[in-house]
Amino acid sequence: MVEKVIIIGSGPAGYTAAIYTSRDDLNPLLIRGFEVGGQLMLTSEIENFPGFKSILGPDLMDQFAEQVKNLKCRVIDENVSKVDFSSYPYKVYVGKDMYETYSVIIATGASVKWLGLDNEKRLLGKGVSGCAVCDGAFFKQKNVIVVGGGDSAMEDANYLSTLTDSVTLIHRRHEFRASKIMQDRVLSNNKIKVIWDSEVVEVLGKDHVEGVKIKNVKTGEEKEITAYGLFIAIGHTPNTDVFKGQIDIDENGYIITHNFTNTTKEGVFAAGDVQDKIYKQAVIAAGWGSMCAMDARKFLEEKNLSK
């Protein structure tokens, strides 16, 4: 049996693609992977997803999953180990099992780059965050820390300065990697303090972030800074390793798309953070998922494969 469409990934993009393709009677196969739900499983309260005044990230993903279940979408909770897009129909491998398909929607997302500190993971959602736009509103009138030196860190620091009492930006070098205009905005913002040549070596706090210990990389001097929130902005890693050599991927690991969702292989589409380097929001990823589903349906109809 050749599948009409296989969807790889289970964040907002993958689930939305599954909802749309299920309702279009394409009988999709959703391969969710071991880490079901994507980055929202690491998020606490969400207040910017339409339709919900406030909802926990895992609860939102549970509702997505329930909707997919109600549509009788078939689901596999294992990781894709290999794909072969060199001949048609395409092949998707899950361990020793191989599935052939006429189209593929890739929605494997991206993972936040963390500092790798012991308390960082323990306090995730308790003051540690990888998304200022998602979580910034929970830190109104508090002191927060941003770690990073690129455009994302500058954007996060500026955004958080509109909500919080103060922002301390910590960077391990003596110059930013960010564009000049973004640097100028940060350096001219009197609510942002920059600490150069330093790195966070410990996250402080028992049940919630209470501050950090930093170390000057030149002098070795250590000191503690009190803060209620710690925002990590050192980049994302797209989950694209399994697709390398099969479709075009840029130097940062993001899938290259054209005409919105099309990859460089006909019938293979990409949605959400796996190809979105800019917005990285759940509602936008969901929109990409619906776009992929509609493009996949159109592709299958043109190939007379939708029935």
What's the sign of the alpha-carbon dihedral 120, 124, 126, 128?
positive
Catalytic residue among 73, 131, 156, 273: 131
Indicate if 135 belongs to the active site.
yes
Q: Greatest CA separation found in the chain?
A: 68
Catalytic residue among 24, 62, 73, 135: 135
Indicate if 292 belongs to the active site.
no
Catalytic residue among 25, 59, 62, 134: 134
Residue with tokens 């205009």: 181
Instruction: Tell me the three-class secondary structure of the chain, residue by residue.
Output: CEECCEEECCCHHHHHHHHHHHHCCCCCEEECCCCCCHHHHHCCEECCCCCCCCEEHHHHHHHHHHHHHHCCCEEECCCCCEEECCCCCEEEEECCEEEEECCEEECCCEEECCCCCHHHHHCECCCEECCHHHHHHHHCCCEEEEECCCHHHHHHHHHHHCCCCEEEEECCCCCCCCCHHHHHHHHCCCCEEEECCEEEEEEECCCCCCEEEEEECCCCCEEEEECCEEEECCCEEECCHHHECCECECCCCCECCECCCECCCCCEEECHHHCCCCCCCHHHHHHHHHHHHHHHHHHHHHCCCCC
Indicate if 134 belongs to the active site.
yes
* Bridge partner list, 199: 215
How, if at all, do strands 55-56 and 110-112 pair?
A: unpaired
Active site residues: 131, 134-135
